[in-house]
Amino acid sequence: MNFKQKISLIVVVIALAVMPEFSVLSAFAQAQPTNVGDALPAAVNSFVLQLKDGNDQIFSNDLNVKNVEHVFLNTVAPQFKNTVRLNTTYSQSAFQSKYGYDLVYLDVEHLVSIGAIQISAGPSVNDPGFSSDPNDVDRQWGLYKAHFVDAWSQVPSGNNVVVAEIDTGVDATHEDLSSGQVLRGYNFITKSLIDPAQNSDDNGHGTLIAGVIAATQNNFRGIAGASWNSSIMPLKALDDKGSGNSADVASAIVYAADHGAGVINMSLGGLGFSNDTTLSNAIRYAYNKGVVIVSAAGNDVATTGGNLDTSPVFPVCNDNGENMVIGVAASDVNDQKASFSNYGKACVDVSAPGKRILSTINHDPVTHLPTVNGYAYASGTSLATPFVAAEAAMIKATYPSLNNGQIRNRILKSADSIDQLNTNGCNNQSCAGLIGSGRINALKALDPALIFDTIINEGDLVRDTSTNFVYYISGGKRQLVSPFVLSQRFSSTSIKDVDPSAFSNFPLGSYALPNQNTVVKSQSSPTVYMIVDGIKRPLTYQVFVQRNITVVNTLFDTELASWITGQFLPPVEGTIVRAHSGKTLYWVIDGLLHPINYAFWVDRGLVGRQILVIPDLDLQSYPSGTAFIK
């Protein structure tokens, strides 16, 4: 059958999930509020916070606080008790000043979305898209390329694994998703249950992802899911535009962990990495309950260059320093990194088929209206991620006694290296070490002969007896330890001497990080960084002097390049700043530079403070906040 009929472009704004196949589409849409309530009089900030005693009535008489609601409604876990979200005209510092005594923590609520996606027409209703040819891009080439078809016979029947899909919902009435594989779920936008036979997808992206994982096999129509005997738990945290917020995603992660999910698929993400306490806590909670967490690397090459080490996104980079999230890049039919796919040593663990993937859909790409029993091609790391989630489900079904760290390690260890095929795909340079341990291989991941050496364990410091190189085992990877980090961070840690053959069980990751607040630079560049929460943040000369830094450690170029780069470290909290050529003053509050006017400057008693004058270009590099005007 000829599958070359095309349907025009559809843009699904979902977090870092799907990227245009032939052109660069628009950036992410802004999330729309789902519960606006009474309008606030000025610019609104959205915060997520935890109250010490749960008394949210402290806000009831404050006209500057609206839409107070609890985030985690479906869990009894004590660490999520009294977590609320709200809208307010207060700045973060003003809110902290007024209510700080009642708070455990206070976070800005971040936006997430799904990314641009190009979709073309798929096969007719009763025509199979399955093919045994791994080069047939008009059918399901990815199943053979990643060896799922060979692996199916290795999975015992009856061991059903639940994959929680945090997305736009799933159309359980679709002909390829209506065989009972879609379970009861939850809609975090409407705060209501999703029935097993319900169409909860008002966007189409979630149905695309569900088809890759669990479309019904051998029903003489459509496609076959990669892990077709798995179940899908639809958790709708993204709206009909494919947009949402980190609080709903965090709540969905906890819901999945509390309701029997073995795997979580997140084909979503948010630009502008930030330390989101609520999301980090949720990821840690689910990981500690044994859930395998998989997330898209994103499709930001056109806007940021795609290097997650320098332009990180979340949740794929929200690993809590322990590789709790399996980051997935997209590859094409030739095992080359898809041109749109992000990459990076610190956040990407594996690659998977993600270009021109045939799957189920329930929205017409032209009219954006609902359509019945549709199929389409789509490209993006969103489509690569469910292949890895399906692989994790198959491993868990085959080896139910394995924990999530062991399942992650099997996925990384069994991947086929594709570095040699990607010599210039990462900013015109080699992708070696930047697209994970390789393209996934489901058959090798299920091989009982894939036995891991028990001599080396997570958290060990080991020395290669053939080279004397020292490695730190973290997150299923081995991190090279430089002489400086060895003496500074691991001076009292015992080292195991091992044969290099033992290292084959652990893919090479980034270099091991030095201690918090260490100031470093590379051998070839004058740029100075401070290590803050696992990220290296650049320092301008003025901030360097202001913070009275006296010791800078010079490290290897490759060492620094392997660590995630964040935004410029701002001046000390409370500093007044202006540019050399400008008259506008900025007040540093909560790490952000807020423009202020003369009346505000006088009213707040800031007139006598020393003003830090910095170059115009440096000013543009600091994270900015809303204007404070009186």
pLDDT, tens digit (0-9, with 9 covering 90-100), for 284-317: 999 999 999 999 999 988 778 899 988 888 899 8
Catalytic hit among 107, 138, 167, 171: 167
d(CA 446, CA 442): 6
pLDDT of residue 39: 44
Q: Which of 517, 588, 580 is nearest to 553 (CA)?
A: 517
Longest dimension (CA), the chain: 78
pLDDT along the chain (630 residues), means of 10: 29 34 23 34 78 88 92 85 92 84 83 66 51 87 94 89 98 96 97 96 96 92 90 96 91 97 94 69 96 95 86 87 93 96 94 96 84 92 97 97 94 95 94 95 93 77 94 92 96 92 81 94 94 86 91 94 85 90 88 87 88 86 79
Q: Which of 32, 45, 28 is nearest to 85 (CA)?
A: 45
Give CATH 3.40.50.200 domain extents, the chain. 119-445
Query: Cβ of 604: how many Cβ atoms within 10 Å?
Result: 13
* 3-state SS string for 537-585: EEECHHHHHHCCCCCCEEECHHHHHCCCECCCCCCCCCCEEEECCCCCE
Q: Which CATH superfamily is domain 119-445 in?
A: Peptidase S8/S53 domain (3.40.50.200)
Paired residues of 313 in beta bridges? 271
**Annotated catalytic, 195?**
no
Residue type for 128, please?
A: P
Give the helix/strand (H/E) hosting 404.
helix 404-414
Catalytic hit among 110, 174, 205, 363: 205
Q: Which residues contact 84 (CB under 8 A, 6 or more apart)?
A: 48, 49, 50, 51, 56, 68, 69, 70, 71
pLDDT of residue 324: 94
Which of the 8 DSSP states describes residue 299?
-
Cα distances (angstroms) measured from residue 157 to each of 227, 373, 394, 512, 540: 12, 27, 11, 42, 60
Catalytic hit among 230, 274, 382, 414: 382
pLDDT of residue 168: 96
pTM: 0.81
User: In the structure encoding, which two tokens stand for residue 87, read together?
Assistant: 């809208």
d(CA 345, CA 232): 30
User: In the structure encoding, which two tokens stand for residue 512, read together?
Assistant: 């091991």
Cα-to-chain-centroid distance, residue 248? 14
- Residue found under tokens 């997140």: 266
**Annotated catalytic, 494?**
no
User: In the structure encoding, which two tokens stand for residue 490, read together?
Assistant: 């691991």
Q: Which residues contact 95 (CB under 8 A, 6 or more apart)?
A: 45, 47, 88, 106
Task: Please report, to the nearest 10 degrees, the dihedral formed by the alpha carbons of residues 69, 75, 81, 82 taken in order.
Answer: 10
pLDDT of residue 24: 21
**Annotated catalytic, 192?**
no
d(CA 20, CA 11): 8
Quickly list DSSP for 494-543.
--EEE-GGGGGGS-B-SPPP--TT-EEEESS---EEEEETTEEEEE-HHH
User: In the structure encoding, which two tokens stand for residue 285, read together?
Assistant: 């909670």
Region at 591 (left for phi over 0; alpha for psi -120 to 50; beta for the rest): left
